[in-house]
Each structure stands twice: as structure tokens, then as C-alpha cells.
Amino acid sequence: MIKKHFIFLLSIFFLLNQVYIYVDATRDYAPRNIDIELSSKNILVGSYIGGRSHLKPALDIAAILAERGHNVNNKSFAYRVTLLTSGYYTPSLEYPNIKQVTLGPALNYKEILNAKFHKEFEFKEMLPFVENGIIAYRETYQKYKNVAKDYNIDLFICDNLLNEACLDIANTLKKPVVGISSFFKDTLGPQKSGPNSLCNVSLENESFLERFKCIIVDPFKISYMLYPFIKSLNNFREQVNAKPLYMGNSQKLSLHLVDTFFGFELPQTLPPNVQEIGPVLSEEYPSLTSELSDFINAHERVLYVAFGTRFHGTVDNNNKLLQSFVEAINKKVIDGVVWALVVTPEDSYSPTLTLSDGSHIQTSLILDNKHPHIHISKFAPQFAILNHTNTKLFFSHGGAGSSHESLYTGTPMLVLPFGADQMSNAEKLKSAGVALTLNKFTLDVSDIINKIDFLLKDENIKKNSKRMEVLAKINSKRKYRAADTIEYILHSSSLNGGVNEEFLNEWIPAEYRMGFIKGNNYDIYGALFGIIFGLICGILCVTFISIRIILKRIFSSYNQKRKNE
């Protein structure tokens, strides 16, 4: 009987649910209106250094904005993007909606880089780059100013490396400015060291003395080295009516976009106007040439080698690398090598390589692509190579772009860093469990082969590479969020009447306005400490007085007793 009642009630519920669905389906709905009253805006992307690694993240985000031009409420609306950089990046091929104005000839740092980075890397090795940037500051500032005026620029996107002129002109003109870099510049966590430091990236497990050195001593040394350059730069700033900056201060950014992601980067607390938006990758990449495709398809365990366009090793190191590749092939650790060599100077290698078994091989045979299992290529579509199933390992210098592409494709890495942020990138890749590292001063053929073998076989490396691949692919979507945020800044600036004291107040945490003591509640903690200290002192005082009274009475009673006796 109970069962029949239950079935009856269930049937009634089902019929009522169907009626509700029918009524709900016939109900009219008002669409959510997401249109915003917009107007056309002009954006300037600026980079003093130039080059693909510095320009690509900013241009990918700018290209998204350029493509968002459309008609809104029957009004024509567009984002017009102009690129200002050294040399000529030919953006028309990859970014047809972006116009370029050149700062002048492309900067050639190859000789300085290789002369400095063949030594033990220290921050002082970067000073020639700083000096060159300062010398060119006045001329660069004037070009930024002219372009800002000619193109009526509404917002600046500035590469954050040696690009003070871009940041200064934006602040001088009171325009919103977005800084973009591949690492956190001014927001290092309390247990992190900077990318150009000789310290480990993470200070979590370091001793007190090492942490003191990395947090106090090293920054002081760097500030001391930079002081004359900052002083000289401020002199140039005064000449162009830009605001001078001093140690401990930096140019004001409306937004700082960092082309990285937590998982590769060590996690830390960030202020609202600093956002990690990497890895910023293109939607499309050049495909394999027929020659490369045939070579990789014919080999099942390919090692891809690339050290970028700015770096090359010493003659001794180049010989060891070639020898390692030949012997790794002979030992069947790998069966093919693709090496992206932009320049192969004749004096960069010995004429003959002597292998570990005493045999000899002519270097020219390898460099002229006469070795059946080694392919040397001046043009290498890196992403397509890394994305190929047969590419099992990437031997790299550890640049940010190369690291991101390797993580995205799930390709383990063997990293030979030369200097700058490559040192910290190598450490972070190793900490993520997807790479092993080499030292440019202690290269050893057996060590290289053993590490290649380990990276290809270790199950943890494979598991970590897959994990990082998923993380990189999910995070790669955030360049659209970066474009959304820039849109907000642009139109917030218009509605706010420009960049003033109230601009982006909604992003400024209360502690920044309250000052160091109130913002960190140190006054509250101080008052609490005072109350606790007062209570403890009061208790101790009362206890001391009570003990004194008790002892006084005891002695008085004892003395009275003796008198009576």
C-alpha cells in the first residue's frame, strides 16, 4: 500500500515538473546587455631593446585589442596600435593591424653578451646595457614624445627592460601606462631573490646568513653600482622636464603584466595592479619545412637544440656539445638532433672532434648537414618542432619564451644558462621537475649524455612535464583577460578625466593609503603588546608587593617570637 502511494506521489511530482519546464520554456527573457559606450583609442607599444622575445607578448595582447574594433550602437569604434622600437620588426607579417615607427637601427648586443656571459655572471655584467640605454635616453624620450603627439596616444604599453623613456613620457603626459615583463620586477616576495641575483630563486631553505646576504647585502651592492647611472639618468630627465626618480622609487604603472604563471614561477602575494598573465603564446606558429618534417619523421627520439639568436658558446663548449650529440646517437640514447644555429662562424669549432673511443670525425661534415642523424638549420620553427611527437627533449639556454613553449608542449628540458634571467629560469624549471641543468664552466660529455638519458627515461620527469603542460595550456588563455584589463584602464581613464589621484583607486588596497604603520596594523599590535606588557608588569608588581608584605609579616612574627622567648 505504501509503495503504491509513493509511486502515485512520484508521478504527480513528475507531471508538475514537466508543466514547470513547459511554462519556463514559453517565458520571454530579456538578453543581458554587455555593450559599453566606447570610443576609438590609440595605443603605443614601446620597447627600447626590441627583438622578438621582448615584443611578442605585448604585441599579442595589442593584436587582440586591435581586432576588437567594431560597430557599437551604430558608432564606429577601433583600437589603433602603433609599435615603436629599435630596428624593424616587420609586424605586418604577423600583426597586420599594427603600424611600426622605428627608434633607429636594431641594437647589437651580441658582442657584449658573449664577452660578458662567457664569464661568471654577476649583476655588474649588465651595467653596459644600462649605460647604453641612459646615453640614448634623451633622443629616445623625444621620439616617444613625437609619436605620442602625432598619433594622439591614449595609453602606453611599455616593455619594462631599460625602457625608462617610455614610462617617463607616459607619466609626464599623465596617460595610463602598462608595463610588461617576463619576471616580477618590483614585487619580489620576502623569500624570493631577483632574476639577476646570484642567490637561489627560493630562499625558503636557506640559512640566516645566506638570507641576510640575499635580502640586505646584495640589493645594497646593486643599489651602490646603479647610483651613478640613476644620477646621470635624472640629469637627462631634468633636461626633458621628466620627473626624477631616486633609489627605492620606480615609475608609476597603472598595470604591471607579467608574462609568467605560478607553477613555473614561485608563488607570492601580489597587489591588484600586478597580474601574471603568461604564458603569452600566439594562436598560430610557422609550420615545419618539408626538409625538417622529413628529418623528424624519420627519427623517433629527437633532441632539439637552440640557444636563441644572441648567445653562442666558447670553442671548447661547442666542441663538447657536438661530441655529446654524436656519442649520444652512437649509444642509441637518441637517434636524431635538430640544432638551430643562426650563425656558425668557422672559428667557433675545432676542425676535428675526437670521440671518447678515440675515433675522429670532421666538424665540417656535421655543420654541412652530411651527418645522417644531425640536422643543422638556420631557420627553425621552434614551436612546431617542440610540438612534434618525435621531439623528446629540448636543449636550451633557458630563455623565458623558450621555457614557456617547452612547458606548453610538455617537452622536458636540458638547460645551459649563460646569464641574466636564464639562471633563475633554469632553477625554476628544475624545481618544477621538468629539467636538469648544466654549468657552462664545467661541461662534461659523459655528464651531458647521462642527463639526456635520465630526462628521456625518468617517470617523474614525464609526469611533471604532463602536469606543467596542462597548467601552461590553461594559463595561456589569460592574454584575453590582459586585453580586457587594458580596456578597463583605457575607459576608466576617460571617465575619470585622465590619470589623477583618484585614477584606479578601486585597485589600491587600503594599507597603501594608510601608511606603513597603520597599513600593517603595527599600531594595533603595538597597543596590544603594551596592554599585555602592562598586565604582566602589573601582575609582577602586585606579586612582588604581596610577597614583600607576606615576608615582612613572617619576619615580624619571627622577631616578636624571639623577643618573647
DSSP conformation letters of 330-343? HTTS-SEEEEE-S-
Distance CA 117, CA 419 (A): 6
**pTM for this model (two decimals):** 0.81
Distance CA 58, CA 40 (A): 20
Residue 100, SS3?
strand
List Cβ neighbours of 414 (8 Å cut-off, separation of 6 or more).
Answer: 393, 394, 395, 396, 435, 436, 437, 438, 448, 451, 452, 455
Residues 57 and 282: beta-carbon distance below 8 Å: no
- Taking alpha carbons only, the member of 349, 306, 356, 303 closest to residue 325 is 303
Which pLDDT belongs to residue 495? 74
Which pLDDT belongs to residue 114? 56
Which pLDDT belongs to residue 383? 93
Straight-line distance from the first to the last Cα atom of the chain, in angstroms, rounded to the nearest whole number: 102
Give the type of residue at 523: D
Q: How many helices (H) and strands (E) does the chain have?
A: 20, 17
The mean pLDDT values, 10 residues at a time, for the chain of 565 residues are: 56 57 61 70 87 83 81 61 81 75 73 56 65 80 91 90 89 91 72 69 83 84 82 86 75 87 86 88 88 93 85 76 90 91 65 81 84 88 94 92 94 89 88 92 91 95 95 93 90 77 78 76 87 91 86 74 66
Name the grid cell of 475.
594559463
Residue count (the chain): 565
Which pLDDT belongs to residue 199? 79
Give the Cβ contact number of residue 59 at 10 Å: 26
Which pLDDT belongs to residue 8? 56
List Cβ neighbours of 333 (8 Å cut-off, separation of 6 or more).
Answer: 301, 449, 452, 453, 456
Distance CA 80, CA 40 (A): 8
Q: Dihedral (C-alpha) 259, 265, 268, 274: value to the nearest 10 degrees?
A: 0
Distance CA 468, CA 459 (A): 14
Cell numbers 657584449 correspond to 112
CA 135 to chain centre: 27
Which pLDDT belongs to residue 249? 62
The sign of the CA dihedral 561, 562, 564, 565 is positive
Which pLDDT belongs to residue 48? 85
- Taking alpha carbons only, the member of 288, 291, 350 closest to residue 317 is 350
The DSSP element (H or E) to which 550 belongs, if any, is helix 522-564
Distance CA 261, CA 407 (A): 11
Name the grid cell of 518.
597603520
Task: Region of 262 please: left (phi>0), alpha (psi -120 to 50) or beta.
Answer: beta
Strand pairing report for 360-362 and 352-354: antiparallel
Name the grid cell of 58.
605585448
- Taking alpha carbons only, the member of 62, 221, 69, 198 closest to residue 121 is 198
- Spell out the alpha helix ranges (H) of 368-420: 382-386, 400-409
Q: How far is CA 543 from CA 128, 538, 553, in A?
A: 68, 8, 15
List Cβ neighbours of 110 (8 Å cut-off, separation of 6 or more).
Answer: 310
Give the Cβ contact number of residue 72 at 10 Å: 13
- Taking alpha carbons only, the member of 264, 258, 179, 278 closest to residue 479 is 278
- Taking alpha carbons only, the member of 434, 391, 444 closest to residue 414 is 434
Which pLDDT belongs to residue 9? 56
Q: Which CATH architecture has domain 290-457?
A: 3-Layer(aba) Sandwich (3.40)
Which pLDDT belongs to residue 26? 59
Distance CA 383, CA 243 (A): 42
Going by the DSSP 8-state scheme, the letter that residue 151 receives in this structure is T
Distance CA 170, CA 236 (A): 16
Q: Please, which residues bridge with residue 202 across strands?
A: 192
226 phi, psi to nearest 5 deg = -80, -20
Residues 98 and 67: beta-carbon distance below 8 Å: no
Distance CA 484, CA 547 (A): 71
Name the grid cell of 91.
609586424
Q: Prior bond to 412 cis, omega within 30?
A: no
Q: Where in the chain is the domain with CATH 3.40.50.2000?
A: 41-281+481-508, 290-457
Strand pairing report for 155-159 and 41-47: parallel
Topology annotation, domain 41-281+481-508: Rossmann fold (3.40.50)
Which pLDDT belongs to residue 71? 47
Q: Prior bond to 190 cis, omega within 30?
A: no
301 burial via Cβ count (<10 Å: 0-12, 13-18, 19+): middle
- Taking alpha carbons only, the member of 15, 6, 51, 25 closest to residue 308 is 51
- Taking alpha carbons only, the member of 270, 242, 54 closest to residue 161 is 54
244 phi, psi to nearest 5 deg = -65, 150
